[in-house]
Amino acid sequence: MVLFHHSLLTIPVLAAVYENDAVPVEDVASVAWMLVHTPLHNLWEGKGAVYIFFVLSGVVLTLPVLRG
């Protein structure tokens, strides 16, 4: 997921919309804007995938210690 996220950020339109929250009004209906500022963003959000990975890793590493 993180690799996919970084790959999509190589597309200048997506990178510009992702980095700048200020989007001109005429661009609000664009596909790039929708991929960044709607729930569709969850399909390629790298940061969320990293957080989930760390939480699951913590759970997996803690379970053997708690079972003792």
pLDDT in tens, 5-49: 888 888 887 787 777 765 555 566 777 778 777 888 788 888 888
Q: Stretch 48-68: mean pLDDT, rounded?
A: 93
Which residue reads 């997921």 in tokens? 1
Tokens of 52: 């989930």
Beta-carbon neighbour count of residue 36 at 10 Å?
A: 23
pLDDT at 64 over 90: yes
Provide the pLDDT for residue 26: 59
Tell me 43's DSSP state. Answer: G
**55 or 21, which is more confident:** 55
